[in-house]
Chain A
Amino acid sequence: MGMTVVEKILAKAAGLKSVKAGDVVEPKVDLAMSHENAALVINQFKEIYEGTGREAKPWEPSNIAIIFDHRVPAEGPKTATNQKLIRNFVSQHNIEKFHDIRGDRGGICHQILPEYGYVRPGYVVVGTDSHTTSHGALGAFSFGIGATEMASVWTLGVALNVEVPPTIKVVVKGSFPKHVGPKDLILHLIGKLTAQGANFRVLEFHGKTIQKMSTSGRLAICNMSVEAGATSGIVPADEETVRYLKEEAGVKGKIECVVPDDDAVYEQIVDVDVSALAPQIACPHTVDNVKPIDQVAGKPVQQVVIGSCTNGRLDDLAAAAKIIKGKKVAQGTRMLVFPASGRVFAQALDAGYIHDFMKAGAVVMNSGCGPCLGVHQGALGDDEVALATTNRNFKGRMGNPKSEVYLCSPAVAAASAITGVITDPRKGGK
Chain B
Amino acid sequence: MGKVVLKLGKDISTDDIYPGRFMATVLPTETPQFCFNDRTEFNAKLKAKAIPAGSIIVADENFGCGSSREQATSAVKGHELVVIAKSIARIFLQNSVNLGLNLIICPTIEANEGDEIEVQAGKVLNKTSGKEFKTVPLPPARQAIINAGGLIPFTRKRMLESNPR
Judge: A and B partners, yes or no. yes
Residues of A whose CB lies within 8 Å of any CB of B are 24, 36-37, 39-40, 43-44, 47-49, 52, 54-55, 57, 70-71, 75-76, 78-79, 82, 127-130, 132, 144-149, 151-152, 155-156, 160-161, 163, 195-196, 199-200, 229, 231, 286, 288, 373-375, 379, 392, 394-397, 399, 401
> What CA separation (Å) do A373 and B19 show in the bound complex?
9
Contact in complex: B164, A149 (CB < 8 Å)? no
Answer yes or no: B91 CB below 8 A from chain A CBs.
yes
Main secondary structure of the interface of A (DSSP, over half): loop
Please encode chain B, from 54 to 75, with 1 for each CB lying within 8 Å of some chain A CB and 0 for all others. Answer: 0000000110011111100100
Contact in complex: A43, B160 (CB < 8 Å)? no
Contact in complex: A148, B15 (CB < 8 Å)? no
Query: Chain B residues with Cβ under 8 A from A146's Cβ?
Result: 68-70, 73, 91, 94-95, 98-99
Contact in complex: A397, B24 (CB < 8 Å)? no
Contact in complex: A148, B99 (CB < 8 Å)? yes
Task: Offer 24 A-B interface pairs, CB within 8 angstroms, sorted by A.
Answer: A24-B139, A48-B156, A52-B156, A146-B98, A147-B26, A148-B70, A148-B95, A148-B98, A148-B99, A151-B151, A155-B155, A160-B145, A161-B145, A195-B62, A195-B65, A229-B62, A229-B89, A374-B19, A375-B20, A375-B21, A392-B13, A394-B16, A395-B15, A396-B16
Please encode chain B, from 88 to 106, with 1 for each CB lying within 8 Å of some chain A CB and 0 for all others. Answer: 0111001100110000000
Contact in complex: A394, B158 (CB < 8 Å)? no
For chain B residues 24-53, which have a beta carbon within 8 Å of chain A? 24-27, 38
Contact in complex: A375, B24 (CB < 8 Å)? yes
Query: Chain A residues with Cβ under 8 A from B24's Cβ?
Result: 36, 71, 75-76, 78-79, 82, 375
Query: Chain B residues with Cβ under 8 A from A75's Cβ?
Result: 24
Given A48-B152, A148-B99, A160-B155, residue A70 in contact with residue B91 (CB < 8 A):
no
| Residue in contact with A200 in the complex, picked from B15, B68, B90, CB distance below 8 Å | B90
Residues of B whose CB lies within 8 Å of any CB of A are 10-11, 13, 15-16, 19-21, 23-27, 38, 61-62, 65-70, 73, 87, 89-91, 94-95, 98-99, 139-142, 144-145, 150-152, 154-156, 158-160, 162, 164-165
Given A82-B26, A195-B65, A373-B67, residue A394 in contact with residue B155 (CB < 8 A):
no
Query: Chain A residues with Cβ under 8 A from B25's Cβ?
Result: 78
> What CA separation (Å) do A288 and B11 show in the bound complex?
10
Query: Chain B residues with Cβ under 8 A from A71's Cβ?
Result: 23-24
| Residue in contact with A47 in the complex, picked from B67, B139, B152, CB distance below 8 Å | B152
Contact in complex: A43, B91 (CB < 8 Å)? no
Contact in complex: B141, A161 (CB < 8 Å)? yes
Contact in complex: B155, A196 (CB < 8 Å)? no
Contact in complex: A199, B89 (CB < 8 Å)? yes
> What CA separation (Å) do A229 and B66 show in the bound complex?
8
What residue in chain B is nearest A369 (Cβ atoms)?
B20
> What CA separation (Å) do A250 and B108 show in the bound complex?
53
> What CA separation (Å) do A241 and B26 show in the bound complex?
36
> What CA separation (Å) do A326 and B95 show in the bound complex?
49
